[in-house]
Amino acid sequence: MKAARVIGRVVATQKISSLTGLKLLLIQPMSWDKKPQGDPIVAADAVGAGAGEFVFWVASREAAVGIGGTGMADTPPIDAAILGIIDGVDLASQDRKNESGKQI
């Protein structure tokens, strides 16, 4: 799972039927210490997130399954899904490195 901030809504009046009823939000991917990471993306909202909220999201097949798809016939064609609203994050250290020594 990845972190993001909800920065807007996406309204699409014309879309394929498997997207009908899905709320689409514009999210800004963030590091876990709330720094922007990359470009904003559109994500389907499974939890009722709102503008400004810090959320966690998944991508690819996990996103479609998270929205409720179980097979090819009922899996919506989405790339990202919001699966939770983050209440807080406790980082053990601000100076963390992965196994190769790279700052994370």
Tell the residue number behind the tokens 């601000």, with chain if given.
Answer: 94
Per residue in 11-60, pLDDT tens?
Answer: 999 988 888 888 999 999 999 888 999 999 999 999 999 999 999 999 98
Residues 67 and 43: beta-carbon distance below 8 Å: no
Average pLDDT over residues 65-91: 83
Per CATH, the architecture of 2-85 is what? Beta Barrel (2.40)
pLDDT at 100: 64
Name which of 51, 57, 49 is nearest 78 in CA terms. 57
pTM of this prediction?
0.80
* 66 vs 34 pLDDT, higher one: 34
* In the chain, where the domains are located: 2-85
